[in-house]
Each structure stands twice: as C-alpha cells, then as structure tokens.
Amino acid sequence: MATAGRRAPGVGTPQKDVIIKPDAPSMLLSEKHADYIASYGTKKDDYILILYDSLHVVDVNKIVEYIQNLQKEDGSFAGDKWGEIDTRFSFCAVATLALLGKLDAIDVGKAVEFVLSCMNFDGGFGCRPGSESHAGQIYCCTGFLAITDQLHQINVDLLGWWLCERQLPSGGLNGRPEKLPDVCYSWWVLASLKMIGRLHWIDREKLRCFILACQDEETGGFADRPGDMVDPFHTLFGIAGLSLLGEEQIKAVNPVFCMPEDVLRRINVQPELVS
C-alpha cells in the first residue's frame, strides 16, 4: 500500500494529548475558587462591570435596535458596524434578545437559514459558510438553534459523533481533530452534547478527572490544561462543565446560556432541548 508521509504503515503518530500526573487535584476546591474570583478584582483601576439582577439599568429598546441593525440581508449578524460576520454574533444576538423577551425583533427565519448554511458534512458548524467545523462555533450555532426552536434541523447523530470524538485518552476534550485538550472545550463541547441529548456519548468520569486536574491548588481557579496558568475564563468553563456533569456542589447551569437554571426559570427563558 502507498505510504505517503513519514510514518510507517501501522505505526501511528502519538495522539496530541496531555498526561495527568498522579498528584493532580482530584476534588473540587470550591473555597479556593471563590477566593480566587473574589480577589481577582482587588487589583487597581479600570474594571469590567458585571451586574446581577439589574436589567432595569439598561436601555432595552436601544439594545434591541442595535442588534436589529446588525442583521444582514442573508440573515447573518455582524459584530458591530465594522462588519465582521460570524455565527458567534448570531448566537449573541438571539441570546440577548431571548433574555430580553424580544426575539421577534429580528428576522428569525433568515437568521436560521444563515446558521444552517454554516453546517458542514461532518455535522459541525464554522464561523461562516464554508468554514471548518470548530467546537466553539458549534456551541454558538447549537445554542442559536435551541433558542430559535430549530434543534430538529441538526443531524444529531452526526454532530454527536463529531463532538464525542473530541474526547482524548486523558479524558479532556479538544476543539477540533488533532488539537490539545482544553478545559474551555469541556464547556463548548459538553453544552452542545447536552443540547442535542447526547451527553452520554463521552466518558463523563474521565472528563471530570481532567477538569479537576486543571485546578490550581495554590491560587484557586482553573487553567486550560493541568499545570498552566489560571484565568477567570477557564475557571468559569471548568465550573460550568462540572455542573453539566452533575457536580452536586455546583448549581445547575443552563447549557444554552451558561447561566444558572434558577435565574432562567425565573424569567421563563429555558429553551427545550433534544432529550
């Protein structure tokens, strides 16, 4: 048989993956993480403001108008007036409007058409039509289709297969074939699997071990992979991923919005998922 490439037949390249050391953290260090997040803000000057339960301070009509004006003729959404088109912005648009109860402000049908045109033959979705499938974009498109009640348009078995193939022997999930595992993909991939009713297609216990191994016992917080530096982004997705896996110490997190279920229940925005 032909042997293009440097490897001999039958001898595969070792798969890109990480090794979890035996002394890696194996329990959830809740208190450490709480301390980490709380102290993150004690550094000086310039802050990003995150408000809870304060929708009354925002001008809802202006937000709706801003989003409306970002929808293009083909149903896609730009990120801002500078015109970058990406399915991430389709998700942001409908998620924002759904939380505000204003989904009908845009042309939902056209928006759906555009997102579906970003579907690939491997079952996944990319940034724009023709883009390579990527777990982050898949999360955005699946979330979009959940919010617009179009999950039945997804080829669930095919997408589920692509997603469960993200799991590596270490238990971690990557974002595309042959990439390293990363804790944030524990969210993008896991939430997508949950939305399409295929969470059982990965090994949940191994994933849990991987996520826990990404904790930093000294500083608290989660890093992208064991031994790396922590940051709030990966901390959020590590916690949210553990919640989807059923971690009892963590509240139930909604896989569409990455927000606590009890908040969404209160405002009655809980899109139906595939069971």
Partner 1 sequence: MPFGFRGPAPPRSRQPSRRPGSACSARRRCRILLSPSLPGAVAMHGRLKLRPPDAARRRQREEKLRLYRSAMATLLEKRERGELDAEALALTGAVLAANPDVGTCWNLRRCALPPDPADWVPGELAFVVGCLGVNPKSYGAWHHRGWVLRRAPAPPPAPAERALCDRLLAADPRNFHAWEHRRTLAAEEDPEAELAFAGTLLSRDFSNFSAWHHRSRLLAPTRTPTSPGGGAGALPPHRLQTELELVQNAVFTDPNDQSAWVYLRCILSRASPPPRILCLYVNREDATLAVTFSRPVVVGSGSSTLTVTADGSALEGAWRSGEGRPRPSHTWLCDLPPDLAPPTARPRLHFRVTWAPDSTHREVMLLPDENEAWWQEPIKAGELFWPEVGVAEASVLEAQVETCRQLLELEPRSRGCLLTLVLLLSALDPLGHEEEIRRCLRDLQEADPLRIGFVGDVASRAEAAVGVLRMGAGPDGAIKLRLPGKALTSLPLLEHMVLVTHLDLAGNNLGGLPPALGGLRRLQVLDASRNKVTTLRGFPPLPRLEELRLDGNPISHASALAPLAVCPRLARLRLAETPLAATPEAAAHLAQLLPSIDVTLA
Q: Return all residues near 248 (Cβ < 8 A) that are at least 6 apart.
A: none
Nearest distance from residue 57's CB to partner 1, in Å?
Answer: 4
Residue closest to 212 by CA, chosen among 13, 28, 6: 28
Least separation in angstroms between residue 102's CB and partner 1 is 21
Tokens of 30: 């809740």
Beta carbon of residue 5, minimum distance to partner 1 (angstroms, whole number): 5
Between 123 and 143, CB nearer to partner 1: 123
- Tell me the residue length of the chain: 275
Q: C-beta of 32: minimal distance to partner 1 in Å?
A: 12
Phi and psi dihedrals of 241, rounded to 5?
A: -60, -45
Strand partners, 215: 222
- A 10 A CB-CB count for 163 gives 28
Q: Which of 98, 80, 200, 198 is nearest to 138 (CA)?
A: 198
d(CA 90, CA 243): 26
Contact 126, 90 (CB under 8 A): no
Residue 26 CB, nearest distance to partner 1 (Å)?
Answer: 18
Q: Closest distance between partner 1 and the C-beta of residue 28, in Å? A: 10
Distances (CA, A) of 4 to 1, 8, 16, 49, 93: 9, 9, 21, 54, 46
- Return d(Cα 67, Cα 106) in angstroms, integer: 8
102 or 128: CB nearest partner 1: 128
Which residue, among 215, 201, 198, has the nearest Cα to 154 in the 3D structure? 198
Task: Please report how close the Cβ of residue 16 comes to partner 1 at its closest, in angstroms.
Answer: 9
Distance between CA atoms of residues 16 and 27, nearest Å = 26
User: Which tokens hold the place of 218?
Assistant: 């000294």
